[in-house]
Amino acid sequence: MMIFLTVMAIGQDYQNGVIRVILARGAGRMRVLAAKYTAALLYAFFVLIAQYIVTAAFLFSALSVSNNLDLLNRMPSNISQEIILYGLVTLVSVIVTGFMAAALTTLGRSLTFGFAFALLWFPVEGILKFMAMVLSAAYSLQFYETVNKITNAFLGSAITNLGSQIFTQNGQTVTPLTVNGFTLSAPSALTDGIIITVYAAIFLVGMFTYARMKDVQN
């Protein structure tokens, strides 16, 4: 959703030439880009909040109709913490994905370029990761472990791993997987957080750098 909103908010002005009119009125490139991205982010944020509310209302209604409201009292004591963590991971994913879409759209200066590359980013990552893991597993577990660490540096993998790592089960973290006596290391939340932060910084610098390109004069 954030990819669609960001590309539409930024790319449509380039596609229709409206950006020239906006800049001619004295608005700076950085301010225009920041305003467009912020608008898309706020819209996505309110949609996420609405989804939370609707989901909670539906769950409560379903339990009420089936006379199972007592199930709410049997939920884990840390359920509120888990919900907050889930929301934070989702918010991080939305922000970084928006940075990526904005950087690609300002680079290509069009809706077509923005949609083509932003929407293909995660599928391409997934395909490359799958192919690499299959080929490396056929070679050796040690090589598989090395390739796994490399592909965990993909943005999509880091976001997915972060979500799985911050949640606990009965107070214990997920133990690494052992195959034929060889232990496959699990990514850490700190490592995933650093990877995501690096991607965010690169995209953020990129989106403002590309926006300053002189093919659009103010």
Interatomic CA distance for residues 203 and 37, integer angstroms: 13
> Which helix (H) or strand (E) segment is 184 a member of?
strand 182-184
The yes-or-no verdict on residue 213 having pLDDT over 90 is no
For residues 71 and 81, which has the higher predicted lDDT (pLDDT)? 81
Instruction: With CA atoms as reference, report the closest residue to 163 among 119, 196, 120.
Output: 196
What percent of the chain clears pLDDT 90, i.e. is strictly above it?
A: 17
The yes-or-no verdict on residue 133 having pLDDT over 90 is no
What percent of the chain clears pLDDT 70, i.e. is strictly above it?
A: 78
The yes-or-no verdict on residue 100 having pLDDT over 60 is yes
Mean confidence (pLDDT) of the chain:
79
Q: What is the predicted pLDDT for the residue at 97? A: 93
The yes-or-no verdict on residue 83 having pLDDT over 60 is yes
Phi and psi at 64, nearest 5°, equal -70, -45
Interatomic CA distance for residues 19 and 157, integer angstroms: 35
- Residues paired with 169 in a beta bridge: 172
> What is the pTM (predicted TM-score) of this model?
0.77
Q: What is the predicted pLDDT for the residue at 218? A: 42
Q: How confident is the model at residue 178 (pLDDT cuts 50, 70, 90)?
A: low
Interatomic CA distance for residues 28 and 6, integer angstroms: 19
